[in-house]
Chains A and B, each alone.
Chain A
Amino acid sequence: EVQLVESGGGLVQPGGSLRLSCAASGFTFNSYWMHWVRQAPGKGLVWVSRVNIDGSFISYADSVKGRFTSSRDNARNTLFLQMNSLRAEDTAVYYCVRGVDGFDLWGQGTMVTVS
């Protein structure tokens, strides 16, 4: 089955860290750019980061630049998001998403609560 499964979310204090993982299966992971998108409770979607197919080109939203680090391990078909210096405003569901431009496959998301 083609799917993305996020893990690693949870409750963390302000200033703390979390590492999210996204396990991909059912498709050729190393052929796709991957993204992180977040959604605060009751709010809209916000793009966080993108990683190219070999992890050599990574972009971030200004709101997370310098605090979050995206990476991927193509041998393990896994995308990562290391989140440091977390703030209350980082509280959201974090989605792992596949796509070069349009996002054609989304994970179910993992909730991160900073409080």
Chain B
Amino acid sequence: DIVMTQTPLSLSVTPGQPASISCKSSQSLLHSDGKTYLYWYLQRPGQPPQLLIYEVSNRFSGVPARFSGSGSGTDFTLKISRVEAEDVGVYHCMQSTQVPLTFGGGTKVEIK
């Protein structure tokens, strides 16, 4: 199974400041079809997760431009350019390059 490791475990950010979350996979997520199936989700308190970023760097419909994804191979990053109060919650990375699909352990973001 591909192990997804997220860091940090938690992050406390002042509104308006940037934030960055790392996600590393135990194997390359580059699929034989040339795509990299790495996703980012935000789970707000008491809510199901919602898709933010698909295939490493594509913002899902309605996701603010302050969210961006980057990376390749085994190293990926989610960046929030200027954190807002509504960004609090747990961020999860996920790979679907290989079955079983696997998630990172999550990064909790809170506002200072």
Q: A residues touching B (Cβ–Cβ < 8 Å)? A: 35, 44-47, 50, 59, 61-62, 95, 101-104, 106-109
Which residue, of A47, A59, A61, A109, has the highest number of chain B Cβ atoms within 10 A?
A47
Q: Is B55 an interface residue (CB 8 A)?
A: yes
Instruction: Give B98 Cβ to nearest chain A Cβ, in Å.
Output: 11
Secondary structure at chain B's binding surface: helix, strand, loop or mixed?
loop
Complex CA gap A13/B73 in Å reads 44
A-B contact count (CB 8 A): 53
Contact B37 A101 (CB under 8 A): yes
Are B60 and A95 neighbours in the complex by a CB distance under 8 Å? no
How near does chain B come to A15, taking the closest CB pair, in angstroms?
Answer: 25
Q: Indicate if the CB atoms of B102 and A101 lie closer than 8 Å.
A: no
Closest to B100 in A: A61
**Extra 15 A-B pairs, beta carbons < 8 Å, given A47-B102, A59-B99, A106-B48:** A44-B104, A45-B43, A45-B49, A47-B100, A47-B101, A95-B48, A101-B39, A101-B96, A102-B54, A103-B39, A103-B49, A103-B51, A104-B54, A106-B50, A109-B48
